[in-house]
Amino acid sequence: MKATVQILWFKKDLRVIDHIPLVKACENKTPILPVYLIEPSFWKQPFCSKRHWSFLRDCLIDLQKDLINLKSNLHVEITESLTFFNKINKTFNISSILSHEETGNKWVLSRNQKVQKWCKVKSIDFCEYPNNGVIRNLETRDKWSQIKKTRFNSPIQNSPGAINTINYQFEFDLPSINNPIFGNEEIFKVQKGGRKEALKIFDIFLKTNSANYLKYISGPNNSDQSCSRLSTHLTYGTLSVKEVLKKVNFYLDQNSSYLDKSKIKNIKAFTSRISWRCHFIQKLEDQPSIEFKSMHPNFDALTRYQSINAHFRSWEKGLTGYPFIDACMRSLTQNGWINFRMRAMLVSFASYDLWLDWKITGNLLAKLFTDYEPGIHYSQLQMQSGVTGINTFRIYNPVKQSIEHDKNGIFIKKWVPELKNLDCSFIHEPWKMDLTTQKNNNCILGKDYPNRIVIHEEAIKFVRNEIKKILETDNYYEMSKKVFKKHGSRKRNSIKVTNNTKQLSLF
């Protein structure tokens, strides 16, 4: 007679603290099989990269250690989920599959639906539990904030003392970073993963780095030190969102007597962004189609370039002729991370100046971002590309941003060494150099560094005319109101859908 087993399916929740599926499985006396599946079809998707696997691999190593401490083990296998579950069900009677809810790409949604259907046919309970402030089957956005708040105020779920683990031939032979299943593109620096690392950098942020959080959050030179750098850890769940918020509150309560107002303000600004994180992921949960279609459907009529062209390649390689754009892209390619303002600027430049479709630029950025989180990614791509219908059109001026955030060209010279001899007169706008100046600085445009591939002012004139056509469609504002009802923030200072939306803001 076959033994009965519960499968504890880890996905993007790689921890044993505040893990509801683990707690629920342990409440049942049925033995547990903890698994992580490396699904080949997932890693073939255009948004995946071995940079993600490098971080994830560290997380699995830490998770395995934590499970061993709980007298258990983690089985890792390269296989599709249904293939694995069918195999296990031939050896054991699967009573239930427990996992966290996952808000992801169409591939993830389709995979989960197939598993759900398979479980129903096999009379197996497929139990999914909330993982953060994202609410499945949300009736209306009006209820989101209160439900989220109630969740975050609930207690942290401690790990059990031990896990009743099924007798099984566990495998934990993790593929290398360079295994071809994860792609062949070159990667450089990758943020270290794992729960231990998450707790360490979080502690450093609270005690030290948070003091300059707001001061440096938008600048490229110091943001990697002043930001928490928890985004990738939250993406892969080495920490839960609730853990982060409770640790922050505990720190403030314990140290409020000697923390200055500036430090407290910085830390509270950080927690507000954690809440906004859930706000954006909720958009994808409510409307999975935003991976492929504009929130405001009228914008799908824009004739942006939908295939990889010469402008895309220049943007990808950091060879646009705009020093700050190129420095940001090269830094991102090297490090797998760059701050939010610089991400927004890169998308704005690609979507407006280069008139590239946000879906093709989005796939490249997804591969480059170690902290690629689908809900945030597609929501922000659309927001910065001006296709939501409920956000201000933010067109970033690359020269203005350059002067504002890298006045002396320190960041530019680090990442675009071709311009290392230029002073502040030309570092932001090298096209203003005459030929003699170019020779004196060993920087011949078109040879040592490219000429501008577009002229910003001219490109934006074209953009204004194209967007104006969409704004003047008969049902534009009625549709915008529907989008706001579904996705808009309910905060008092949130953007209202009025004729003022026609204004294109230049940053």
Q: Which residues pair with 395 in a beta bridge?
A: 506
Alpha-carbon separation of residue 502 from 102, 246, 487 (angstroms): 36, 41, 19
The pLDDT-based confidence of 496 (bands split at 50, 70, 90) is very low
Chain centre distance of CA 191: 14
> Does residue 359 sit in the same domain as residue 417?
yes
**Domain range for 438:** 290-506
Question: In this predicted structure, what is the pLDDT of residue 417?
Answer: 97
Q: Tell me if 56 sits within 8 A of 13, measured CB to CB.
A: no
Assess if residue 170 is contained within a domain.
Answer: no
> Does residue 145 sit in the same domain as residue 225?
yes
> Residue 447 pLDDT > 70, yes or no?
yes
In tens, the pLDDT along 24-35 reads 999 998 999 999
Whether the full predicted model's pTM is greater than 0.85, yes or no, is yes
Q: Using CA atoms, how far apart are residues 181 and 173, in angstroms rounded to an integer?
A: 15
Alpha-carbon separation of residue 35 from 79, 84, 168, 475, 506 (angstroms): 11, 10, 11, 49, 49
> Does residue 309 sit in the same domain as residue 240?
no
The pLDDT-based confidence of 494 (bands split at 50, 70, 90) is very low
Assess if residue 177 is contained within a domain.
Answer: no
Pick from 263, 286, 309: which residue ends a domain? Answer: 286
The pLDDT-based confidence of 481 (bands split at 50, 70, 90) is very high
In tens, the pLDDT along 153-210 reads 999 999 999 999 999 999 999 999 999 999 888 888 899 999 999 999 999 999 999 9
Question: In this predicted structure, what is the pLDDT of residue 216?
Answer: 87
> Does residue 405 sit in the same domain as residue 483?
yes
Question: In this predicted structure, what is the pLDDT of residue 307?
Answer: 86
Question: In this predicted structure, what is the pLDDT of residue 187?
Answer: 82
Assess if residue 178 is contained within a domain.
Answer: no
> Does residue 347 sit in the same domain as residue 488?
yes
Q: Looking at the 3D structure of the chain, how many domains does it have?
A: 3
Among 407, 405, 413, CA closest to 331: 413
* Range of weakest confidence among 254-258, 267-271, 317-321, 414-418: 254-258
Assess if residue 434 is contained within a domain.
Answer: yes
> Does residue 325 sit in the same domain as residue 433?
yes
> Residue 463 pLDDT > 50, yes or no?
yes
Assess if residue 340 is contained within a domain.
Answer: yes
Q: Using CA atoms, how far apart are residues 154 and 266, in angstroms rounded to an integer?
A: 25
> Does residue 306 sit in the same domain as residue 352?
yes
Average pLDDT over residues 3-25: 97
Alpha-carbon separation of residue 366 from 39, 231, 414, 446 (angstroms): 18, 14, 24, 30
The CATH number covering residue 261 comes to 1.25.40.80
Alpha helical stretches, state H, 318-450: 323-335, 340-348, 358-368, 374-385, 398-405, 410-415, 435-440
The CATH number covering residue 78 comes to 3.40.50.620
Alpha-carbon separation of residue 107 from 36, 133, 233, 374, 463 (angstroms): 17, 22, 22, 11, 33
Question: In this predicted structure, what is the pLDDT of residue 301?
Answer: 93
DSSP E strand boundaries for 383-468: 393-395
Q: How many degrees, rounded to 5, is the angle at CA 440 between CA 436 and CA 444?
A: 70
Alpha-carbon separation of residue 228 from 9, 271, 273 (angstroms): 28, 11, 11
> Residue 398 pLDDT > 60, yes or no?
yes
Number of H helices and number of E strands within the chain?
22, 7
Tell me the one-letter amino acid at 476.
Y
Average pLDDT over residues 222-242: 94
Assess if residue 174 is contained within a domain.
Answer: no
Alpha-carbon separation of residue 131 from 11, 330, 486 (angstroms): 11, 34, 21
In tens, the pLDDT along 41-82 reads 999 999 999 999 999 999 999 999 999 999 999 999 999 999
Pick from 131, 153, 172: which residue ends a domain? Answer: 131
> Does residue 269 sit in the same domain as residue 399?
no
Question: In this predicted structure, what is the pLDDT of residue 503?
Answer: 47
Please give the residue that has the higher pLDDT: either 226 or 490: 226
Question: In this predicted structure, what is the pLDDT of residue 306?
Answer: 86
Assess if residue 183 is contained within a domain.
Answer: no
> Residue 448 pLDDT > 70, yes or no?
yes
SS (H, E, C) 138-197: CCCHHHHHHHHHHHHHCCCCCCCCCCCECCCCCCCCCCCCCCHHHCCCCCCCCCCCCHHH
> Residue 506 pLDDT > 70, yes or no?
no
> Residue 99 pLDDT > 50, yes or no?
yes
Assess if residue 150 is contained within a domain.
Answer: yes
The CATH number covering residue 502 comes to 1.10.579.10
Residue partners of 119: CB distance under 8 A and separation at least 6: 97, 125, 126
> Residue 497 pLDDT > 70, yes or no?
no
> Does residue 373 sit in the same domain as residue 269?
no
> Does residue 120 sit in the same domain as residue 141?
no
> Does residue 279 sit in the same domain as residue 305?
no
> Does residue 362 sit in the same domain as residue 372?
yes
> Residue 499 pLDDT > 70, yes or no?
no
